[in-house]
């Protein structure tokens, strides 16, 4: 990955804290804050208008109001976040509804998902990555659209990587 290029005189700051050893992907830096990176003003939806939907190649289409969504069983999970813009935050705590719960009873033959939220943001990923205890929905996501073929979402259409595995440094298209 480094090739032959060396930056003359650069030493850098080595991460020696054993608590984070091996947990920060190459090229990332740790942040204690929560940097926000949206393209425009932060959208705000009144709770009375909030809903969450699963639609697309599914039978039947599902929809929950905020009260119905909050009544679903939720879990508290602690995860590390790695953002394509190179910041990482460890041990963030989230409360959310498991996607397995949301997909319970839903029939689909689609293999890809577009997750959408307020403000027109979408992101695409394989359905398999959301199943079997790997994904939860917190309040900023407004729905999942299940599709037979992968389709780039908002940031992916603007040059960010379709899959985005931080451990393989997949930040931009072509990585």
Q: Please report, as ranges, the residues that interact with another protein according to CB under 8 A.
A: 1-2, 5-14, 26-27, 29, 31, 33, 35-43, 85-87, 119-120, 157-159, 172
User: What minimum distance in Å lies between the beta carbon of 166 and another protein?
Assistant: 13
Output the CA angle 48-81-156, nearest 5 degrees.
75
User: What minimum distance in Å lies between the beta carbon of 151 and another protein?
Assistant: 17
Task: Name which of 33 and 109 has its Cβ closer to another protein.
Answer: 33
DSSP letters of 27-93?
T-EE-SS-----SSSPP---GGG-EEEEEESEES-EEEEHHHHHHS--EEEEEEEE-TTSEEEEEEE
User: What minimum distance in Å lies between the beta carbon of 155 and another protein?
Assistant: 9
Cα distances (Å, whole numbers) of residue 27 to 38, 87, 159: 21, 9, 18
Give residues with Cβ within 8 angstroms of 74, minimum separation 6: 95, 96, 97, 98, 136
Nearest Cα to Cα of residue 79 among 171, 166, 169 = 166
User: What minimum distance in Å lies between the beta carbon of 107 and another protein?
Assistant: 36
Token digits for 122?
A: 């979408």
Task: Name which of 13 and 149 has its Cβ closer to another protein.
Answer: 13
Q: What is the DSSP letter of 123?
A: E
Task: Name which of 31 and 108 has its Cβ closer to another protein.
Answer: 31
Task: Name which of 61 and 85 has its Cβ closer to another protein.
Answer: 85
User: What minimum distance in Å lies between the beta carbon of 172 and another protein?
Assistant: 7
Rounded CA gap, 118 and 36, in Å? 15
Task: Name which of 100 and 175 has its Cβ closer to another protein.
Answer: 175
């Amino acid at each position: 990955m480094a090739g032959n290029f060396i930056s003359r005189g650069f030493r850098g700051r080595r991460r020696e804290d054993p608590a984070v050893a091996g947990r920060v992907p190459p090229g990332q830096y740790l942040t204690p804050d929560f940097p926000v990176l949206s393209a425009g003003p932060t959208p705000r939806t009144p709770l009375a208008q909030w809903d969450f939907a699963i639609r697309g190649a599914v039978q039947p289409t599902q929809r929950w109001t905020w009260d119905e969504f909050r009544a679903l069983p939720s879990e508290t999970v602690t995860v590390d976040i790695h953002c394509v813009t190179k910041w990482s935050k460890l041990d963030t705590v989230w409360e959310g509804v498991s996607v397995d719960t949301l997909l319970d009873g839903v029939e689909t033959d689609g293999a890809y998902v577009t997750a959408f939220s307020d403000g027109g943001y979408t992101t695409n990923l394989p359905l398999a990555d959301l199943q079997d205890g790997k994904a939860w929905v917190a309040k900023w996501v407004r729905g999942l659209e299940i599709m037979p073929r992968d389709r780039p979402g908002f940031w992916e259409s603007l040059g960010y990587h379709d899959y985005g595995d931080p451990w393989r440094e997949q930040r931009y298209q072509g990585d």
